[in-house]
Amino acid sequence: MKFQLISNDTDAIVGMRLAGISGTMVRTEEDTRKALLETVKMEDVAIVLITEGVVKLCEDLVYDLKMKCHKPLIVEIPDSKSNGKSKNSITKYIRESIGIRI
């Protein structure tokens, strides 16, 4: 099983490549949706890493796949342009998945 990165950030692609993680560069919402749906279908991918910028391009699809897909695990990571603190991403995910506000 392996990792796969989907990003719109060249620095993230290069950095993960140095760690042995292959990635897909996307620029538009359409590219993002296509790359994400193709990656989710890959049998050998266990974890999909998605940068914050990509999540902003198609937030609805990302959170829908997080809720419905058992495999692969979809993890949002910061990109080089972010401060590393996804604004309420975990809180939002909990609220959407189980319906409580924390």
What CATH code is carried by the domain that includes residue 79?
3.40.50.10580
The model's pLDDT over 39-52, given as tens digits with 9 standing for 90+, comes to: 999 999 999 999 98
Peptide bond into 72 cis (omega under 30): yes
Question: pTM of the predicted model, to two decimals?
Answer: 0.78
Confidence of residue 67 (pLDDT cuts 50, 70, 90): confident
**What is the C-alpha separation between 100 and 102, in angstroms, rounded?**
6
Range of the domain at 48: 2-98
What's the domain count of the chain? 1
